Amino acid sequence: MKYNILLISTLLLLLGMEVLQAQEVQQSQKKINTVEIVGDTNLNYYVYPNSSSKDTSLLLNLDNENTKPNNTKKKVALVLSGGGARGIAHIGVIEELEKQGFEIVSISGTSMGALVGAVYALGKMEEYKNWIYTLDKKEVFKLIDFTFSSQGLVKGDKVLKKMKEFIPDRNIEDLKINYSATATDITNKKEVVFTKGSIYEAVRASIAIPTVFTPVKIGDSLLVDGGVTNPVPINHVKRTKGDILIVVHVNADVPVYKPFISIDEKNKKQSKYQKNIDAFQNEFNSKTKKEKLGYFKLINKTVGILTYQISKMTIEKFPPDILINVSRESCDIFDFYKAAELVEIGRHAAINSLKKYNNKLD
């Protein structure tokens, strides 16, 4: 087991290093790579060979229908990073943006960012939030379909099928706002960006955390979490004239903000669900007790370091108008029972960042 874990971690780090090297090459060469168009009977997406970043000239895609002036709301191109349970903070950010009069016209997301972005694009944010707030109930643990296969511990199909009860699947091109989800093709070593086809399948591929969720097979491609190559997909968000680029980074190296939640409410949130998650993690960690890191901690730290470094480079290369940072110490990657707390953390981060932005404008 320990050798398999180390091998998987090493492969992920090597893949991440290839992406970082490709970004450095692009920074030194003013050359636009050709976009490869890939077609499938059920899905349509495009891939960027050997890179997770593109020249900024590719970002500003202007359509006549999308460039009409809006005098009532400030248009926003929104980028939502991956980050496991921390991605729930995206909900609080989106709610605050709408409260302050922003109009989200396009979304690009990776992993949990792709999921939350899809929910918003479908107009089902409130239903999704109400559902995710129930993750402290014991029934939720039954939604985790463990496989213990060599490709991953969890299929993830039960959770997504449950979500389909209140989030109907639609084609991405039929949504009212522009949407894209990022995944990684580990077979062909390419970043995959879904801009058409089933939004359900796009999200399923984007959230496939290596060694945790089983990957998605499409043709000769084996797709895993988009965070492996592009955890903050700034270069894939659709831009419109006069919009504001806002990036939400939930793996930031910033101090933790903890909203007040009563002790009784915290205990209630942990309940049966968290006990089962803890038991499952302890089972794997006990098998590696001679090592300094257990199975889940090894995954968390490996993926965390990888995504943080790639995210840092991406944000430096494509600086947004507004950067909303959520601490990577806010919670662990599987702490979905902290949904209410995470939504408030996201709201708090949005309020502070928007205040700083408005102060600069004054």
> Which residues belong to the active site?
111, 225
What is the rounded distance in angstroms from the CA atom of residue 205 to the CA atom of residue 46?
14
What is the rounded distance in angstroms from the CA atom of residue 116 to the CA atom of residue 110?
10
Q: Are 251 and 308 in contact (CB under 8 A)?
A: yes
Residues present in the chain in total:
362
Q: Name the strand (E) or helix (H) holding 105.
A: strand 102-110
125-132 helix and 112-121 helix, angle to the nearest 10 degrees:
130
Beta-sheet pairing, 43-49 with 36-39: antiparallel
Q: Name the strand (E) or helix (H) holding 34.
A: none
What is the rounded distance in angstroms from the CA atom of residue 115 to the CA atom of residue 104?
16
Q: Are 89 and 343 in contact (CB under 8 A)?
A: yes
| H helices present in 60-198, as ranges | 89-99, 112-121, 125-132, 157-163
Residue 111 CA, chain-centre distance (Å), reads 3
**Cβ burial, residue 279 (10 Å; 0-12/13-18/19+):** exposed
At 36, list the tokens: 């490869």
What is the rounded distance in angstroms from the CA atom of residue 4 to the CA atom of residue 152?
12
Q: Between the CA atoms of 119, 121, 127 and 130, what dihedral angle is there, to the nearest 10 degrees?
A: 60
Q: Are 354 and 322 in contact (CB under 8 A)?
A: yes
